Amino acid sequence: MFEAESKGLKLLNEGVSNIAPEVIALEENEDEMILILSFIESGSPHKDFWRDFARKLATLHSKTNDLFGLDHPNYIGSLPQSNQQHDRWTTFFILERIEPQLKRAVDGGNLSREIPRQFSRLFLKLEEIFPDERSSLLHGDLWSGNYMVDHKGMVCLVDPAVYFGFREMDLAMMKLFGGFDASVFSHYHEFFPLEKGFEQRMDICNLYPLLVHVNLFGAHYAHQVEGLMKRF
């Protein structure tokens, strides 16, 4: 997990300079692994904080790859995250994001055995729902607990679950749990305009983090997943 964390932070900083803590050392011996990061001193948001946040996120998302995924697996929270690469977003979304978490949730008794049929019907519509975009470098777990305000009043991203994916995954998750000023989304649209229909696609994007939360925290999130699937 520390090795994946180290790689993720380095990828973020390659995408946008100094957007994440610097990895100073990763040491391993027989008994333990130690990850040493630069210390980020907390501060108060700069007056242009949300515009700067949006600009840096758009810059991160402008880093592309020919494939969706990553050359190594990592973690989403404490759960393994497969990043096997695919040439289409919908294929990656189904096989590497939804199906592993869905199987875990059903096998663990947190979702009914009927719900995979609903997902199968949704899968048939995804090519029509998602716009055709190149992959973007994503933070991958962008909720309000995973950003800090540094001593200069600017954003610092932590605890990534990086991969090259559909950029609206980050934006949808930001809306799912709140904690972000509404202006960040309008600023983002200025820097890297979204295709029409984001609000409709948002709930589909958020099926992944919701399934993750079903597997981590149980029944409350299961009701949210079941409610969304009734709509689709």
d(CA 162, CA 4): 9
Q: What is the pLDDT of residue 220?
A: 84
Average pLDDT over residues 93-112: 96
How many C-beta neighbours within 10 Å does residue 122 have? 17
* Tokens 């289409």 belong to residue: 88
Active site residue 141: yes
Of 110-114, 171-175, 188-192, 218-222, least confident by mean pLDDT is: 218-222
pLDDT tens-digit readout, 75-93: 999 999 999 999 999 999 9
Domain 43-231: CATH superfamily is Aminoglycoside phosphotransferase (APH), C-terminal lobe (3.90.1200.10)
Structural tokens at position 176: 């799912």
Catalytic choice (71, 87, 141, 203)? 141
Angle at 143 between CA 142 and CA 149, to 5 degrees: 90
Q: Which helix (H) or strand (E) holds 25?
A: strand 23-28
Report domain extents, the chain: 43-231
pLDDT tens-digit readout, 46-80: 999 999 999 999 999 999 999 999 999 999 999 99
Whole-model pTM: value is 0.96
